[in-house]
Structure 1
Amino acid sequence: MKARVHITLKDGVLDPQGKAIGHALGNLGFDGVNGVRQGKVIELDLAATDRGAAEGQVEQMCRRLLANTVIENYKIELID
């Protein structure tokens, strides 16, 4: 089973990289982009075959290592 974890900054947390991307898009002529927030995606190939066990395992990975839960949100997507 595969898992994909989407990690983004929480609302209200400054995103200087997103701001730089937005500025660069404007310089390239892409008008009308009012805001950019950047994040990251982590893909995991898991040995687990049970969806519940896999989700629990990835949840622990996120809380302990993959995401800084003070400033980041995460969403787990399981792929059969």
Structure 2
Amino acid sequence: MAIISNARDSVMVVTYQVGLTAQGSPKLSQRSIGNVKSASSDQDVYDVAVALYGLQDYPLVGVRRDNRLDLTE
């Protein structure tokens, strides 16, 4: 039987640098922001992350989008 997937929502995961380790390499942290509409474009999600973290003292390192799907038979 075929599986049907229906888009539910997305989670935006933002990685940012909070400092340096004793060895001088970047110390990273992540924050997840849920309830991103699945219809939002990738560009819009990225632009929101850049705008939000532009207000922070920590530099933005990366943005990831995790899509959530409901699977049914």
TM range (shorter): 0.5 to 0.7
Higher helix share: 1
Deviations 1:10-31 (A, max 9, x none): xxxx72xx21xxxxxxxxxxxx
- Name 1:2's counterpart in structure 2: 11
Q: Residue 64 of structure 1 aligns to a residue in which SS?
A: coil
Residue 54 of structure 1 deviates from its aligned partner by 2.1
Gaps of 5+ in 1: 20-34
Number of residue pairs matched? 55
Residue 52 of structure 1 deviates from its aligned partner by 2.7
Deviations 1:20-67 (A, max 9, x none): xxxxxxxxxxxxxxx4532211111033321332222222111123xx
Gaps of 5+ in 2: 1-9, 68-73
Residue 74 of structure 1 deviates from its aligned partner by 1.9
Change (3 A) 1:48 1:60: farther
Determine if contact 2:12/2:66 at 8 Å carries over to the other structure: yes
Q: Residue 78 of structure 1 aligns to a residue in which SS?
A: strand
C-alpha distance in structure 1 between counterparts of 2:60 and 2:45, whole Å: 19
Higher strand share: 2
- Percent identity, aligned pairs only? 2
TM norm structure 1: 0.51
Determine if contact 1:2/1:78 at 8 Å carries over to the other structure: yes
TM norm structure 2: 0.55
Matched, 1:57 2:42: no
C-alpha distance in structure 2 between counterparts of 1:73 and 1:47, whole Å: 19
